[in-house]
Amino acid sequence: MKIKVCGMKHPENINAVSQCEPDFMGFIFYKKSPRYVLDKTLVFAKEMNPNTKTVGVFVNSPISEVLEIVQEYNLNFVQLHGNESVDYAKKLYNAGVNLIKAFQVNKNFDWDKIKDYKPFVNYLLFDTATKSYGGSGLKFNWELLRNYKEEIPFFLSGGIEIDDAEMIKEIDLPQLFAIDINSKFETEPGVKNEELVNKMINTIRMKSKYQVNDKGFYGEYGGAFIPEMLYPNIKELQESYEEIIQSDSFQEELQALLKDYVGRPTPLYYSKRLSDHYKADIYLKREDLCHTGAHKINNALGQILLAKKRNKKRIIAETGAGQHGVATATACALMGLECVVYMGAKDIKRQAPNVARMKMLGASIVPVTSGSQTLKDATNEAIRDWINNPTDTHYLIGSVVGPHPYPDMVAKFQAVISKEIKNQIKENPTHIIACIGGGSNAIGAFYHFLEDEDVELIGIEAGGMGIDTPETAATLALGSQGVLHACMTTVLQTEDGQVIEPHSISAGLDYPGIGPQHAHLHKTKRVKYSNITDQEALDAAHFLSHMEGIIPALESSHALAYLEKMEIKPTDRIIINLSGRGDKDLETLTKTIKE
């Protein structure tokens, strides 16, 4: 949806608001308006950022005057806000002026009268009916818009304020083209509060300061630091992924699979015994109940549908714990695609049950013996495979890492977790806690709460033997900024830029990098990051097994263990994202059963 900021007047203010990149800026040429333009406004407007179109707003002015002003100030559009006739519009339109015709709507409005203007206008604008010509700061009943049956796209105007953003996003009229904001974003008539405007623009565009920008960055993190060999492939993916995954046919197919194949929505389980124990309300988001046993399947299915739409014949993936490998092998079996999974030799040993499952599902598993023989090196090998197979292969990355658009794309597929949570709660939780390897289950659990600043979001990294030892995978605690796996992020590395081999008992968290969005959420302090040691995670796994009869994955146990470390108030409502089940970890877990 586009945004027009109307009633601009002062050059400094215009300059500041331009930074928010509205699509249109309106200048009022109606002498009776308190927002009537100044000469210097126009000189300035003439040199505006070409991405923002200028609109001159007129009320029953003589045509010659309008034409003169349009010429002199290079206005891109003229908005007719008075009782201008069809003939009037026709004359201007035929003189080459782009037109927006405004109508004042109330319940007696005659929608038929729009018809005659249709050939001569580019857009319509619906404003609240008043005695004068707009500017009332009042809203009309938007239900009335249902009477609009024409095809010409329209601007919605009249008293729109910041709190209307969500409601506006829910209006499902395809002709709704833009919103027009004005008086509710002002400190005085003609002076806009740029922060408020910015917030509105970001909410409407569904862009938040926490989400990826159009260059593929989250603040200074992200991007696509790829060799030229991958350029055509990634470029095409960057340009097409949003459109594909937003399309109705894609969503229909994906939602059906998530429901009937994965078993979504997963329960948000109120854990009575944990709640009693910790003296607060504790909920578990049961991603462990997904088909294949972890959240990874949400992303694997999303990407496999995307790969199919892009006619890819061969799927490659990296895996650490094997959960993503299993999810990918499952998705490939379902779609009849060839599947190759790269897995570190060390992980093949410690996650044997998942290796067996992948084989059962018909995937080929390539053991990776370079470097630390874990997730980082499996990812390297998968990327190398991709370089060698640039046209027919889709690289199905398992977390919110890698070059843009992967971090955003995977986040969007995992966002279903927090979307469901929102539907499952009456009141926002106080805390959401999730473990972080690359960060996909965490982003999924946080996604729809990022703008709800009252919810404390906590990401848990693997502390390994402790962050004061070299045997750790706590990237944000100890890392520095650098490029790993083709994105700028935080990395465990030497001063010279050599990546340090991490350690965690949990293969899925044993990674020396982190998704760029997390690096950004850390930097902006929106999410709090902490870490949990191998031992603490093991203890939490045993504890949950005994308390609730749920054996958690070692990864998820890191999030659970944080309950021991945080200060809990009786009024707290804490959600733990239980990202996966512990079947794959039984060998490690049973070794540590206390007799």
Partner 1 sequence: MLQELFKNTKEPLLNIYFTAGYPQLNSMPEILEGLVNSGVDMVEIGMPYSDPLSDGPTIQNSSSIAIKNGITTDMIFDQLSKCPSNISKIMMGYYNAVYLYGVEKFCEKCKDNGVSGVILPDLPIDIYLKEYKGIFEKYGISNIFLITPETTESRIRYIDECSTSFIYAVSSSSTTGKGTGIQSAEGYLRRLKGMNLTNPLMVGFNISTKEDFDFASTYTAGGIIGSAFIKHIAGSKNLTQDTETFINSIREKK
Ligand X SMILES: Cc1ncc(COP(=O)(O)O)c(C=O)c1O
Per CB under 8 A, residues contacting partner 1 are 223-229, 231-233, 370-371, 376, 380, 383-384, 387-388, 390-391, 480, 482-486, 491, 493, 495-499
The binder of 225, among partner 1, ligand X, none, by C-beta within 5 to 8 A per type, is: partner 1
Q: How many other CB atoms sit within 10 Å of the CB of residue 400?
A: 30
439 contact choice in partner 1, ligand X, none (CB below 5 to 8 Å, kind-dependent): ligand X
How is the beta sheet containing 527-533 ordered, strand by strand?
268-270, 281-286, 573-578, 431-435, 456-464, 527-533
| Residue 136 CA: distances (Å) to CA of 60, 140, 274, 397, 590 | 18, 11, 55, 52, 71
Using CB under 6 A, pick the residue from 216, 223, 344, 437 that binds ligand X.
437
Catalytic residue among 318, 420, 536, 555: 318
| Residue 321 contacts ligand X per CB under 6 A | yes
Cβ 509 to ligand X shortest distance, Å: 6
Q: How far is the CB of 388 from partner 1 (least distance, A)?
A: 5
Q: Does the annotation count 275 as an active-site position? A: no
- Please report how close the Cβ of residue 421 comes to ligand X at its closest, in angstroms: 16
Q: Report the run of H or E that residue 149 belongs to, with start and end.
A: none
Residue 54 φ then ψ, to 5°? -95, 140
Helix (H), strand (E) counts: the chain:
22, 24
Give first-to-last CA distance, the chain, whole Å. 62
- In angstroms and rounded to an integer, the radius of gyration of the C-alpha atoms of the chain is 28
Residue 527 binds which entry of ligand X, partner 1, none, CB below 5-8 Å type-dependent: none
Closest Cα partner for 576 from 594, 585, 587, 547?
A: 547
Site for ligand X in 146-205 (CB under 6 A): none
Collapsed DSSP state (helix, strand, coil) of residue 131 = coil
The catalytic residue among 183, 271, 557, 579 is 579
How big is the chain, counted in residues? Answer: 595
Question: In the set 440, 475, 493, 588, which binds ligand X (CB under 6 A)?
Answer: 440
Nearer to partner 1, 190 or 479 (CB): 479
Given the complex with ligand X, which of 158 and 552 has the nearer CB atom?
Answer: 552
Min separation Cβ 391 and partner 1, Å: 7
3-state SS class at 254? helix
d(CA 374, CA 487): 19
Does residue 209 have an active-site annotation? no
Binds ligand X (CB under 6 A): choice among 216, 438, 512, 513: 438
Selected catalytic residue, list 296, 308, 346, 584: 296
Which partner in ligand X, partner 1, none is near 436 (CB below 5 to 8 A by kind)? ligand X
DSSP string for residues in 257-275: HIIIII-PSPPEEE-HHHH
What does the DSSP assignment read for 189-244?
A: TTEE-HHHHHHHHHHHTT--TTS--TTSEETTEE-----GGGHHHHHHHHHHHHHH
| Binding partner at 495 among partner 1, ligand X, none, C-beta below 5 to 8 Å by kind | partner 1
Label residues 161-177 b or e (16+ Cβ within 10 Å = b).
Answer: eeebbeebeeeeeeebb
Partner whose binding site includes residue 496, from ligand X, partner 1, none (CB under 5 to 8 Å by kind):
partner 1
Q: Which of 182, 193, 266, 323 binds ligand X (CB under 6 A)?
A: 323
Binding of ligand X at residue 289 (CB under 6 A)?
no
65 catalytic per annotation: no
Distance CA 87, CA 427 (A): 55
Asked if 324 interacts with ligand X (CB under 6 A), we say yes
- Per CB under 6 A, residues contacting ligand X are 294, 296, 320-321, 323-324, 399, 435-442, 508-509, 553, 555-556, 579-580
Which residues are identified as catalytic? 296, 318, 579
